[in-house]
Structure 1
Amino acid sequence: MPKNRYRNKEVKFFVTGHEMEMIDKKAAIAELDRSKYLRKMALEGYIIKQDFSQVEQLVYEVNKIGNNINQVARRANEVEYVSLDDIKYLKKQLEGIYGQIEKFYDGG
Structure 2
Amino acid sequence: MTKKRYRDKEVKFFVTENELDMIDKKAAVAELDRSKYLRKMAIEGLIIKRDFAEVEQLVYEINRIGNNINQVAKRANELDHVSKDDIRYLRKQLDTVYGQIEKFYDEG
**2:85 alignment partner in structure 1:** 85
RMSD (Å) for aligned C-alpha atoms:
2.3
Q: State the 1:96 CA deviation.
A: 1.6
Structure 2 distance, partners of 1:8, 1:22, is 26
Q: How does 1:1-108 map to 2 (within 5 A)?
A: 4-107=4-107
- SS of the residue corresponding to residue 11 of structure 1 reads coil
TM-score (norm 2): 0.78
1:33-75 deviations in whole A, cap 9, x for unaligned? 1111001111222322222222221222122112221232233
Structure 1 gaps of 5+ residues are none
Aligned partner letter, 1:88:
R
Structure 1 distance, partners of 2:66, 2:76, is 15
1:93 and 1:39, CA in 2 relative to 1: closer, same or farther beyond 3 A?
same
Aligned partner letter, 1:57:
Q
Aligned partner letter, 1:96:
T
Structure 2 gaps of 5+ residues are none
